[in-house]
Amino acid sequence: MNIYVLLKKTFDTEEKIAVSGGVIEDDGAEFIINPYDEYAVEEAINQRDAHGGEVTVVTVGDEDSEKQLRTALAMGADKAVLINTEDDLEDGDQFTTAKVLEAFFADKEADLILAGNVAIDEASGQVGPRLASSLGISYVTTVTSLKIDGETVNIEKDVEGDVEIIETSLPLLVTCQQGLNDPRYPSLPGIMKAKKKPLEELEIDDLDLDEDDVEAKTRTTDIFLPPEKEAGRVLEGDVQDQVKELISLLKNEAKVL
């Protein structure tokens, strides 16, 4: 079985993020594998171990993305591919990423493609569905259970706290939700083996693409941190006075009434 994982390098949102002039400051920022993509890597390894084949992790990014790819290899993936767009593209969006991946998969025979449900930096959840549509294969999002029997796939899908049961077939793209599995930590032997596993680097020229083919369809106009939370207010007096004051605050300050 040919299994691929779409992987993205993201900011570690547990670290302090600085914004200056509408731009996130990269200097000193900590980057990690997008946490939802870790579920995809883990599930890919589990499915390979159950059904055979190999796992290839793919990312569209810059040369620093090699670190996250090596982490996925240390977890147990077999191969990695870095599509380096750093020198060719100033800006990109979900359309850009999906078009680059479409060109990459044009000559591949993928049985199963896994991705994270969303990326924690932009949270659009678009790349997986866009890619599946362009490849003409089925896709299911927010997957919490994945069972493969031959060409038949049985899926449990998270739908706002409930579960939808779906039966479909390979080839297939799924996006992975929390609860699908418990991603493993890379072991020391895994880290050592990852150094010798193949990591191929491509550029958009290698995919017969030029900048016009993958030009972003959207642009970011501003980036800013949310305002700091103000201290709460304690209402005093008897209950009737508190109720009156609360209604006044909701109407005149919060303007929700």
Which pLDDT does position 89 carry in this prediction? Answer: 81
Which pLDDT does position 132 carry in this prediction? Answer: 97
Q: Name the token pair of 250.
A: 């909701």
Closest CA to 217 of 109, 141, 130: 130
Please say whether the beta carbons of 137 and 101 come within 8 A: no
Which pLDDT does position 8 carry in this prediction? Answer: 94
Tens of pLDDT, residue by residue over 157-191, are 999 889 999 999 999 999 999 999 999 999 999 99
DSSP-H helix ranges across the chain: 35-51, 66-75, 94-105, 127-135, 188-194, 239-252
Q: How far apart are CA 252 and CA 247, in angstroms?
A: 8
Domains of the chain: 2-214 (3.40.50.620), 229-257 (no CATH)
Which pLDDT does position 78 carry in this prediction? Answer: 97
Which pLDDT does position 91 carry in this prediction? Answer: 80
Which pLDDT does position 159 carry in this prediction? Answer: 92
What are the residue ranges in the chain where pLDDT is below 50? Answer: none
Which pLDDT does position 203 carry in this prediction? Answer: 92
The torsion angle over the Cα atoms of residues 53, 57, 60 and 63, rounded to 10 degrees, is: -130
Which pLDDT does position 192 carry in this prediction? Answer: 94
Which pLDDT does position 130 carry in this prediction? Answer: 95
Q: How far apart are CA 199 and CA 221, in angstroms?
A: 35
Helix, coil or strand: residue 109: coil
Q: How far apart are CA 61 and CA 77, in angstroms?
A: 19
